[in-house]
Structure 1
Amino acid sequence: MVFLLSCEKKYQRPDEYKVDLFKDERSENNAYVMSEDEAYDKSDMVLSTSDTKLIDSSSGRGKPFFIYKIFSGDIEKTTRDSVVSFPLEIISTEKLNLKKEPSYIFLEMLKGFRFIAEERKIKYQWVPGAPVYPLQKETK
């Protein structure tokens, strides 16, 4: 005589684990945003302007980048060029939320984009991670 016994054990998954091994590695799409002072310190050039326009982008053509033209502005800080001739074209790897109100433009020397830079004579790019800060009005 052969007895066949089967033990059925269902997998029981706990609803909540007592120890979360990956709590430090889990992120909720939190992007790092620089403060205004940090962006100012990292910049090679800072301009204040309200006359900036998106003139071209690479949407759908590989790594995204955006070309902006600054028509006029004031130099707030510079480490390289003492004279800037306007209009000035810059490249950004992120789309900037520019409004008609005066804002700070944080720029660094162009890294990469060699062929575009030679063709359009672009020397500066937007500092990655720097947000668009509105120009602070001085009260006297």
Structure 2
Amino acid sequence: MTDVKRSKKRMTKQRKIILEVLKNTTCHPTADWVYDQVREELPNISLGTVYRNLKVLKEMGEIMELDYGSTYSRFDGNPKNHYHFVCNNCERVYDIDMPVKNDLTDIANDHTDHLIEYHRLEFYGMCSKCNSNNIKYE
């Protein structure tokens, strides 16, 4: 294994701090938000370094990247498969505390020639905060 490959798998100080930030929040933040939080402990870290380390942490299986087709991704410190709720109004992302329906993957495999390895499921609607503010969709 080359030094470059080995360094990507090592838990560096920067990666450890980024991971701690993600594990200590439930807001499913953007990379910019993570950058702002990490700068409190590592003032000289660059945004590019945060992006690179988020990618490596994802490759290591330490975090989950939630890509909703927008110009930015959100990140989750819980890498285990679980469901999310996305508010159509404020765009916040919440975990849904319910068991993953692993048989859904098996059912889908029975209906295709493709090999489905896992599924990711998001629910969409209005979060309780927006709903309590009586926000209406236009």
TM beyond 0.5? no
More helix by share: 2
Higher Cα Rg, which structure: 1
Higher relative contact order (Cα pairs below 8 Å, separated by 6+ residues): 1
